[in-house]
Amino acid sequence: MRDNVRAFVAAAAESFQPVGPVFEFGSFVVPGQEHIGDLRPLFPGRNYTGCDMREGAGVDRVEDLSRLTLADDSVPTIVCVETLEHVFEVRKAVDEMMRVLAPGGIIMVSTPFNFYLHNYPGDYWRLTPSCLQGLLAPLGATAVGWQGVDSFPHTVFAIGCKAPVPMWFGERFGKFTANFTRRLQTLEAAEPWRKRLKRRVTGIFRSKGERRREQSYYKSQWIGSFTVGEPLKTSRHAVAELLGSSS
């Protein structure tokens, strides 16, 4: 779990105010990450079930994400962060989450892109923003974002809502982008001064691309398509104009 991913979930939970019960897929808390990997405190007062394919800290229920045992339309809120890259049958996993998501329910997803190969049970995929957008396209509303350079982001995010999409979705999405931006700015400001100084000093020896990645690390952008009432496709330009870019 990375601090920017926790900030994403915190911003979404606060802005969308999703109802419980909340199901997290990929909830195993890696030893030493208890302070950041446990997402339950971000959903106070709501029933929370942590699911993973292995038992351990943070896991209430063992589930195979590509073959869920949950009933159709039964889960109001789904959290699946830093997990899809570890699921070999990733298309089935996303289809399963959409199957069990309740009508009007919210799903939050993140996955690394420019990131080292890591851990259990394997590290199979790097999903682009357009890939997540396509996987979640059957939902009534889908918003996809990323952090870093547009052509080479380090993290990709998505928020989706199963039809029928509540009328408040667009307004709360606007609140979310502003909330997430504030949290990223806080993380940037909290960087140790030694790290910032080292980056400035070594910057003169780095390539233009490397400097761009450093400068864009805490910036995010979002695109989306919403169906609220009558079908509506929203372009990237319109989303930035209507809801505000978080870059």
Which pLDDT tens digit goes with each residue over 116-168?
777 767 887 899 999 999 999 999 999 999 999 888 999 999 999 999 999 89
pLDDT of residue 193: 77
Of 82, 58, 49, residue with least CA distance to 155 = 82
The pLDDT assigned to 230 comes to: 36
Lowest mean pLDDT: which of 38-52, 175-189, 221-235? 221-235
Q: What residues does each domain of the chain span?
A: 3-243
Instruction: Look at residue 185 and tell me whether its pLDDT is greater than 90.
Output: yes
> What's residue 162's pLDDT?
96
β pairing state of 230-231 and 141-149? unpaired
**What confidence score (pLDDT) does residue 236 get?**
37
Lowest model confidence (mean pLDDT) among 63-72, 101-110, 135-144, 190-199: 190-199
Q: Rounded to a whole number, what is the largest CA-CA distance in the chain? A: 56
Residue closest to 114 by CA, chosen among 122, 126, 100: 126
The Cα-based distances of 32 to 37, 178, 235 in angstroms read 9, 30, 41
Q: What is the pLDDT of residue 200?
A: 64
Q: Which CATH architecture has domain 3-243?
A: 3-Layer(aba) Sandwich (3.40)
pLDDT at 87 over 50: yes
pTM (2 d.p.): 0.86
Question: What residues contact 210, with CB distance under 8 A and at least 6 apart?
Answer: none
Residue 137: what pLDDT? 92
pLDDT of residue 204: 61
